[in-house]
Every structure is written in structure tokens, then in C-alpha cells.
Chain A
Amino acid sequence: MTKAARIPFWRDLRVLRALAQVLFVIFVILLGNWLYTNLQANLKRTNISFSYDFLQQPASMGISEGLPFQPTDSYQYAFWVGVFNTFRVVFLGMILATLVGLIVGVARLSSNWLVRTLSAIYVETLRNTPLVVQLVFWYTAVFLKLPRVDESLELPGPIYLSQRGLVMPQPQPTESFALWGMALGGGLVVALGVYIARRIYLERVQRPGTPWLWGLSAFLLTALGSWFLLPQAPLRWEPPVRGIFNFEGGMQFTPEFTALLLGLVIYTAAFIAEIVRAGILAVSKGQKEAARALGLTDFQMLRLIVLPQALRVIVPPTTSQYLNLAKNSSLAVAIGYPDLFNVANTIINQSGRAIEVILMIMGSYLTISLLTSLFMNWYNRRVRLVER
């Protein structure tokens, strides 16, 4: 190797690459530093301070639902109540939106003209109007039109339905609850055993079947059996009591929660329906014909042949829709549901700490999004494995 034969470093691709990256890092650091010094100078000049000390102060506000909350609790705890409420609606929303989206997506390919057309109208209308307008519509035009609390509908249970929401009895543990809990644990072990045994059996005889159904029935049997064997029922149904203004106690689903959930589900389902439709159309016709030739019923064909293949196409874009649902839940402020964004807004108004709280909001949504992404990526890999 002579000196002349070596590539000069300014033309060596490896050196250039490293150099480019170093320059990029320097650029980013310089930019960050410039922004940071500006921020420092401006905060000083404009008398705005940056600190999270205010989080320990009493919040002096009320939160209408979620975890129990007193006005004397801290801002920090108030924020957590908001996070909990967001999480509740997002989690349920994802599950329900998937179900509704699946049904509408299949309905878009229905042989019934009216069903097909109505589901198309549904998808087009909901996708093309702002969600916030829809939420206000559900809340004011549907849920607030339910009977007033004095004239609540009483269903057996007793379950009450009114403008103040759906109120139903709540199970309260009694003294024998601990014993029953142990029985449930035992049931779980039994169920697992049954599931595995059934699975091994099915593999041996080479027949299709539903081992999880066996496991589930085993669990339910133990649970029910122990319930009746115990001297005292482990759970007692505590009915809601009518106070002066509202129902007290019991399980309550407020109209704000329900309207937000419904709005998010119906809006997101419209997008998921289109994804599902595209996914089903992507499964080649031959697969369906082959399934029919094997004598599978419509439902079996959908479950065993079409959906597993369609899932491959459906899962990645659905992940984006889940992320959108999580972020769209911040529109809850429009209809008075105390979600993370709503509570945080109040905290900003009362403490004047806009920068700090906005950073907390961003961090919380980011965490929810990343958790969703992680789960969906894991699921995506599973679907892919099943396919091979």
C-alpha cells in the first residue's frame, strides 16, 4: 500500500459519513443551546419563572368523576385523576371502536343494498366533519335529551337511566370475599389445566376445536360453585340511593363519559371500517372460493380464512387510528368530561404555570401513544408469525 493508492480522507465515504453525523450533532446541539439561552434570557426579562413546586399545593378545584378527589388534594393528584379518566375512555374506546369498525367494514360489503348504502353514508359523513362538532352533537342532542333525573327510567336491577347518566348497583365485598378470592385462584389453575389437556387432546386426534371455551367454562363452574357453597354470598349488590339532587352510591356512567366514548368510538370506527374493508378486499377471491369448496359456513370462512389474512393489512393502519383516538380524547373539554386535558387546563388557569403544565400534558399523551404503539407492534409481529 503506497500513500498514493490510499483514498484521501475527504473522499473516503466512511470518514465523510462520520463527519456528516458529527456535524449534524454539532448543529443540533448548537441549535438547542441557542434556544435554551434565549429561553433563559426571556424568562428572566419577562419575569416568568419555571418550577414544578406548585404541584404540591392544594388544587382547590372539584373533579366530577373518576378517582375520589377532594379540593384539598394536591395539583399533582388532580393531574393523576385526569390521566386516569383519559386512560379509562381511551382503553374502552379502542376496544369498542375496533368492534364497531369491524361490523361497519363488513356491512360496507353487504349484499343488502340499504345496509351497504347506509354504512357508506355513515363513513362519509363522520369522516368529513370535525370531531368536536360531532361530540357536541352527541352530548347536547342525544344524551341531554334523556329524561330528567326526577323522571328517570327505572329498569329492573334497579338500573336508572336519566340525563345524569346510567346508574346501577355496585357489588360490595362481604366478609367471605377473601375465601371466594382464593377459590377463584384455584379455579384459574383448574381452567389452565383443562385448557392444556384439551389442546393436547385435539392435537393428538388432529381435529379443530375451541380449547379456550373449555377452559372458560371450567373457570366459570368453579366460580359459581364456590359462590353457592360459601355460607354468605361473597358480594352484595349495593343499590344506588336517590339523594336530593343526584343518585348517590352505586356504579355511575355519566353522560359526559358516555357521550365522549360514543363520539370517539363512532368517529374512529368510520376510519377503521374503511381499513377493514380494504383489508377484506385485499384477500384474494380464490381463498374465499376454496373455503366454500371445503364447506365452511360464512362465519367460519370470515373467522378462519378471511380475517387472519386481512389482519396483516389491517393492523398497521389501525395502530395509527388508535393513536388518533388517544389524542382526540383531549377534545373532551368541549363536553365537560374531566380528562387529562380538561383538568390540566384548570391547573394552568389557577396556577398560571402554562409552560410546565403543557409539558406535562405532552409527556402524558406521549406515554399513552408509545404504550399503544409498543403493544400494537408486538401484536403485529404475532399476526405475521401466525400467517407463516
Chain B
Amino acid sequence: MIEQKRVAAEVLPPPTLRYGPLRWLRENLFSTWYNTLLTLLCLWGLYAALSALLEWAFTRADWSVIPANLKLLLVGTYPAEMLWRVWAVLYFVVFLLGGSAGLWGSLLRDAVVALSAAFFLLALLPFGMSERLLLAGLALLGGGMMGAGWLLRRAARLQTWSKRILLGLWVLSPILVVVLVGGLPGSGWLPTVSTEKWGGLMLTFMLAIVGITTSFPLGVLLALGRRSELPVVRWFSILYIEIIRGVPLVTVIFMASVMLPLFLPGDTRVDQAVRAMTAFTLFTAAYIAENVRGGLQNIPRGQYEAAHALGLSHFWTTVFIVLPQALRAVIPANVGQFISLFKDTSLVFVAALLDLFNIGRSILANPTWLAHDSEMLLFIASVYFVFAYFMSRLSQRLERLLGVGER
């Protein structure tokens, strides 16, 4: 018996830091007297805030305003019989995301898993039956595409080809999305839906995505311009960046939406949504430029010298050596920029557009819903929070993945 016990003792794992809940409490919450005080203070504050909020949310609040207006909040005044086009866009995007997640994996996979789970949860909510089926379909598509991509990864030839096809689809995606949502002039089955009818969360996303993609190249050019050896170009870039960064976004949108027609010849008409997007692009480009400049400054001199030694011209050094490194390093910062752009879309009321926030305001002017402002505000804030939080987590993961700041 004694012999046996000794043998058993030898294979025991090393002691871990596993301890009981009481010990954990003491170590983490009540280690010193001021920690105890802090803990109690925090607990009291938490209780006061949460109890008031929950009491209101479950007893006095009337949430009927949200389901009644859900369609308006999501897509604005987009014609109801054309809603299948928005669904098609969703399916298309999930198709691309799922496929890419399967083929390239890593961070995208987590994002798609989260997205599919979210769609699945939404499908459990009491919407109409067709909506629930469509949502469940989205969840299935996300998961299925990921699986398909993962399988394709096994076959080398197929993998390269499917990657190429997906990349092509990504490149074509802006066209497809705009055509699907906006319509094809002159075709019978895709009648045009003017941008005045786009709205709600859909518009919020479109503004933010177009804003960030179009501002990116402009921002990179400005960042390069700011570091250029040509004084005129440098000073122009500095002037542009500093002026734009010094004024509030709302004035830029106002200039673009109200003033722009005054700066264009006679009968030129620019679509309202395009005006707002122009404002977002011009505004965000200045911030992206500063982010990129940070990336450019972090590239060691040796890289330039090595490139010159290899006989690369200034232009090709920038394209092949400097930019790939610099842009990689500033991806997380640009995700942060995207989040703030996403939140700032609420300012487009100046440009006569109805994004999520302003659709909410317009609904509250309906005599039926006059007294439901708190519920509406809280709902809109939560929608912003869910997406912004999701993206900020993603950017943190990305930061770790790319090892920014660790080299």
C-alpha cells in the first residue's frame, strides 16, 4: 500500500494555482483595505445603475415601437417588394466571407462563426416565418461556405483557383452590390431604386464602407505626399491634412452637400448619397494619412538603402518595399478609423439622408410613437454598440495577430 502510494505521488501534476472561490475573492477583490473599499464602492455604483435601468426596461418601457418600425430602421424607405435585393446582397456578402474564411482561415474564421451564430440567434426571434427561414439560411450559408473552403484547401490546384475566383468576386463586389441595391437602368427585372430611398442601418453601413475604401488610397497618397521631397507637394499635403483635421465633420458634410452644387458648372447634379460619401472620403483621408505616416516612419532606413542597393527606383521602392510593410502595420489603426466613421454616419442628416439615427428621429415624429423616445434611443445605441464592439474586438485580435508593436 505504502509503495503504491509513493508511485502515485510521483506522477501527480505540479501544483496549479487553482483555488476556491473564497480565496479568489480575497486575492482579487479584498486584498488590501483600499481594495476592499474600491470593491464595495464599485458594487454599490453597479447596483444603483443596473437596478434603475432594469426596472425601467422591464416595467415602464413600451418596446412595441421597435418591432413595428424594424423595416424602416433597417432599410429605410426602400420599397418593400424590392427587399429581396437587400437579402441577395446579404447572401452574397456572407457567401464571400464564408468562402474566404474557409480558404484563408485565421481571424476571418472567427468573424464568420460569430456572424453565423448571430444570424442563427436572430432566426430564433419572432419575426415572420419567411424572414426567419432566410436568416437561418444565412447562418447555414456562412457555415457551409466555411466548410467548403476548408475542404478546397486540401487540394492544391483547386485551392489556388478558388482563391483567384473569390478575389475576383471581392473586386467585383462593389459593382454587384451597387447594381443589386440601386438597380440597373433600363432593365426590367432590376428597376432603379434612387438613393433617396436607401436608409437605415443599410445606408449607415454603405456610407461607412464606401467612405473607408475610397479614402484609403487618397490617404496613402497624402501620407506619401507629406513625406515627399518636393516642397510644393509636401506643403500642399500638410495644409490639406491639418485643415481637415482641424474642422468638425459636420461642417465638411454641410459644405459637400449644400455648397458642392455651387462649385460645379450649371446643370451638374450630384446624387445626395454621393455627396455625403465625398465628404466622408475627404474627411477620413486626412486621418488615414496620419495613420499611414506613422507606419511609414517606423520603417527602418536600412530597408530603403537595401532597395536602392538592389537598383529599385524611388517609385518601385515605395510600391514593393515601403508600402506593404507600412500598410500592414497600420491596419488596426484604420479599423479604429472605420469604427469612428461608422458612428459618425449619424451626422448625415445635414445631407438630407436618413441613416439609422435619423430614421429613428423621423419615426419619433409620428404621432403614434411620440412618447417612445427613450426606447428608440436605447435601441439605436445598442445597435451601434454591437457592431462597433464586434469590430473593435476584431481589430484587437488583428493587432495581436500581426504582432504590431512587438517588432
Contact, chains A and B (beta carbon distance below 8 A):
yes
Whether, in the assembled complex, A213 has its beta carbon less than 8 Å from a beta carbon of chain B, the answer is: no
Stretch with Cβ within 8 A of B (4 or more), from A163-171, A243-251, A360-368: A360-368
Whether B39 lies near A362 (C-beta < 8 A) is no
Do the beta carbons of A323 and B262 come within 8 Å of each other? no
- Determine whether B192 belongs to the interface, using a CB cutoff of 8 Å to chain A: no
A293-342 interface (Cβ within 8 A of B): 320, 323, 327-328, 330, 341
Within 8 Å of chain A (Cβ to Cβ): is B250?
A: yes
Find chain B residues with CB under 8 A from A133 CB: 377, 380-381, 384
Do A365 and B28 contact each other (CB < 8 Å), given the known contacts A112-B39, A115-B38, A130-B343? no
A182 at the interface (CB under 8 A from B): no
Question: A28 near B: Cβ within 8 Å?
Answer: yes
In the complex, the answer to whether B236 meets A365 with C-beta atoms within 8 Å is no
Give the contacting residue for A17; candidates B230, B246, B384, B392; CB below 8 A: B230
Segment at the interface with B among A41-49, A65-73, A196-204: A41-49
Our pick among A24, A114, A361 for the contact of B29 (Cβ within 8 Å) is A114
Shortest C-beta distance, B375 to chain A (Å), equals 13
Interface residues of B (CB under 8 A from A): 28-29, 31, 35, 38-39, 42-43, 46, 229-233, 236, 242-243, 245-251, 254-255, 258-259, 261-266, 290, 339, 343-344, 346, 357, 377, 380-381, 384-385, 388-389, 392
One of A48, A132, A361, A370 near B346 (C-beta < 8 A): A132
| Closest A residue to B333 using CB positions | A317
Nearest Cβ distance between residue B261 and chain A, in whole angstroms? 7
Residues in chain B near residue A369, CB distance under 8 A: 245-247
Which residue of chain A has its CB nearest to the CB of B230? A21
* Residue A176, interface by CB 8 Å: no
In angstroms, Cα B245 to Cα A327, docked, is 9
Cα–Cα distance between A369 and B46 once the two chains are bound (Å): 37
Given contacts A17-B230, A124-B392, A136-B377, contact A42 B384 (CB under 8 A): no
Across the two chains, which residue of chain A brings its CB closest to B294? A316
A112, B230: Cα distance in complex, Å: 54
Residues of A within 8 A of B377 (CB): 133, 136-137
Query: In the bound complex, what is the Cα–Cα distance between A42 and B265 (angstroms)?
Result: 8
Q: Which of A112, A136, A361 is the one whose CB lies under 8 Å from B28? A: A112
The verdict on A113 contacting chain B, using a C-beta distance below 8 Å, is yes
Evaluate contact between A128 and B389: CB separation under 8 angstroms: yes
Known: A21-B231, A113-B28, A365-B248. 9 other contacts (CB 8 A): A17-B230, A42-B264, A118-B46, A129-B384, A361-B247, A362-B251, A366-B243, A369-B247, A370-B246
Secondary structure type dominating chain B contacts? helix
Q: Is the CB of A38 within 8 A of B265?
A: yes
Q: Considering the complex, give the chain A residue whose CB is closest to the CB of B383.
A: A129
* B253 nearest CB across to chain A (Å): 11
* Interface contact B262-A128, CB-CB below 8 Å: no
- A304: min CB distance to chain B, Å: 21
Instruction: Tell me which of B233, B255, B380 contacts A24 (CB under 8 A).
Output: B233
| B249 A327 Cβ-Cβ under 8 A | yes
Contact residue among A24, A131, A362 (Cβ-Cβ distance under 8 Å from B232): A24
A24 close to B250 (CB less than 8 A): no
B229 contacts A362, C-beta separation under 8 Å: no
A127 touches B392 (CB 8 A): yes
Q: Is the CB of A20 within 8 A of B251?
A: no
Point out the residues of chain A lying under 8 angstroms from B380, CB to CB: 133
17 contacts between A and B (CB under 8 A): A24-B230, A24-B233, A42-B261, A115-B38, A124-B389, A125-B385, A128-B384, A128-B385, A128-B388, A129-B384, A131-B343, A133-B384, A323-B246, A341-B248, A358-B254, A361-B247, A373-B246
Are A114 and B258 also in contact (CB < 8 A) when A21-B232, A133-B380, A358-B251 are? Answer: no
Q: Which residue of A lies closest to B261 (CB)?
A: A42
Which chain B positions have C-beta within 8 A of A210?
A: none
CA distance A354 to B350 in the complex (A): 13
Question: What chain A residues lie within 8 Å of B258 (beta carbons)?
Answer: 354
| Interface 1/0 per residue, A249-288 and B, CB below 8 Å | 0000000000000000000000000000000000000000
- The residue of chain B having its C-beta at the shortest distance from the C-beta of A328 within the complex is B248
Q: With an 8 A cutoff between CB atoms, is A178 at the interface?
A: no
Q: Which of B39, B236, B255, B264 contacts A115 (CB 8 A)?
A: B39
A114 B385 Cβ-Cβ under 8 A: no
Instruction: Mark interface residues in A210-250 (1 if CB within 8 Å of B CB, else 0).
Output: 00000000000000000000000000000000000000000
Known A124-B392, A358-B254; contact A45-B266, beta-carbon cutoff 8 A: yes
Complex alpha-carbon distance, A244 and B240, angstroms: 53
Question: Which chain B residues lie closer than 8 Å to A35 at the CB level?
Answer: 263
A41 to B266 Cα, complex, angstroms: 8
A111 adjacent to chain B (CB < 8 Å): yes
Cβ–Cβ contact B230 & A118, under 8 A: no
Interface residues of A in 23-50 (CB under 8 A from B): 24-25, 28, 35, 38-39, 41-43, 45-46, 48
* Contact of A327 (CB < 8 Å), options: B231, B247, B259: B247
> Nearest A residue to B262 by beta-carbon distance?
A42
Kindly identify, within residues 115 to 152 of chain A, every residue whose CB is under 8 Å from any CB belonging to chain B: 115, 118, 124-125, 127-133, 136-137
**Chain A residues with Cβ under 8 A from B242's Cβ?**
370, 373
**Chain B residues with Cβ under 8 A from A354's Cβ?**
254, 258
A95 at the interface (CB under 8 A from B): no
Report Cα–Cα, A245/B253, bound state, in Å: 40
Question: Of all chain A residues, which has the CB nearest B25?
Answer: A113
- With A118-B42, A130-B357, A130-B381 already in contact, the answer to whether A112 and B35 are too (CB < 8 A) is yes
Which residues of A have CB within 8 Å of B388? 127-129
**Given contacts A41-B266, A355-B259, are A323 and B381 in contact (CB under 8 A)?**
no
Which residues in A have their C-beta under 8 angstroms from that of B250? 330, 341
Chain A residue contacts of B259, Cβ below 8 A: 355, 358
A358 to B253, CA, bound (A): 11
A20 CA to B389 CA in the complex, in Å? 45
List residues of chain B with CB within 8 A of the CB of A355. Answer: 259, 262
Q: Select A39's contact among B31, B247, B262, B384, beta carbons within 8 Å.
A: B262
Contacts of A41 in B (CB 8 A): 265-266
CA distance A330 to B246 in the complex (A): 13
Contacts of B255 in A (CB 8 A): 358, 362
Known A129-B381, A354-B258; judge A365-B251 contact (CB<8 A). yes
On chain A, the residues within 8 Å of B264 by CB distance are 38, 42
- Distance of A115 Cα from B37 Cα, bound (Å): 11
Chain A residues closer than 8 Å to B39, beta-carbon distance:
112, 114-115
* Residue of chain B at shortest CB distance from A23: B232
Q: Shortest Cβ distance from B227 into chain A, in angstroms?
A: 15
Across the interface, A38 reaches (CB within 8 A) one of B249, B254, B263, B385, namely: B263
With known contacts A35-B263, A129-B388, A133-B380, A111–B31 Cβ distance under 8 A:
yes
CB atoms of A128 and B392 under 8 A apart: yes
In whole angstroms, what is the CA distance A361 to B290 when docked? 24
Which of B31, B236, B344 sits near A112, CB closer than 8 Å? B31
